[in-house]
Structure 1
Amino acid sequence: MTKYMDYSSPEAQFSFDVNESPLFKKDNQNLINVLGVNQLNTLDNTSLLDIYLSKHNFVEPHYHQNAAELVYCISGAAIVSILNPFTKEILNYRISPGQVANVPQGWWHYEEARKDNTHLLAIFNSPVPEVVLGSDILKLTPSSVMAQNYCMNENAWINTTEKVKPGTYIGPGCLEQERHSPVRQTYFNYPPYYYQYGPNPQYNRQCIPKTF
């Protein structure tokens, strides 16, 4: 549906502090801020994620079913890995400040920081990009289905994925590390439109808001 903005309205917003819009925080060095039309109502078909990572931390494997993504490196260094669905190849692109990697709409991908203090911008051609996270696929698909399809004992599958938590966003996210970390993963209490980014709605009671 086309949205028409009255740019003469006193409610029209033309600036916003992205630091005031957290999406996910693993710790003080690994976090994601979000900007979309729900934060800045004069935006058209664009939005972004403001991503901070320390070395060897990942934005977990995922895809955006309604948006392409341009990953721009502001500082540090990262590897952007993309699964090309046509060639069935994993493509790895090293980016440093001023360089970009392009992820077409719906392509499975992930990013790994290769230096501390890595800062990335993920820019989308959608006002609110949707996301399917690898952690959600692993935990929300019934274990019986996964075991049967991949010829595994169901208990073995359950044990293998025991440490996976829905809505991980930034990994590694092992339970042992979280128990001993002074900073716990935090999910923020957003209005309903944030659930397109956040944990699956069936986990909202457990994860929003709650500090683990």
Structure 2
Amino acid sequence: MKKLFGLVAFVVLFSFYFLSSGVIAQAALQDGNYSVNYTVLQGDSDSVSMANDYFDKPATVKVEGGKTTVSLQVNHSKWITGLWIEGGAVSVTSNSTANDTRQVQFPVSTLSSPVSAKIKVDIDDDGLNYHHEYQIKLRFDEGSAKSLVAAVKSSDNNTTNEAATSDAKTKIANPKSSDSSQMFLYGIIFVAAGIGLVLLKRRASFK
């Protein structure tokens, strides 16, 4: 009986370990550049913030040596006068007064969970007098990640091919295939448990 319990416990523990390892593997992106969709949420809830419209999508994400750097564009740059990510100021990489946009760059500790941020809004246009700071969160959709292929110059005609995008092949598996694997493993767990119960009942009947 001890051997039977040991076998069932081994199957259950191994299956849960495999499932948890699979989730971690899917969340990781290998070194490279990606376009990733994201949503700006309210700081104290999962509701979409009004500030969501002031951030252009998608963002560009660079993964290198275990470090992740995000680049994105803020529109209505004149109104969004301050932006802090995880308590730190962002780096401004470019400004366009004509388009009222600003490109910013910042490191993040993770893409798997919402990234805390804060913005400062100053509006003195159109009869408005609004000055406020408030918390937001950036929720990145890792499932939307697409690797960015740099533009390559042709040596024959000296022209540049347009930058292309392709699905991020470096990710272990897409969500659908992982769901199927998880269902299969859960099935193994239930089958093992069922076999254990049947064997226990048979042993009891022979006593």
Q: What is the TM-score with the length of structure 1 in the denominator?
A: 0.25
* TM-score (norm. length: structure 2): 0.25
- Structure with the largest fraction of helix: 2
More strand by share: 2
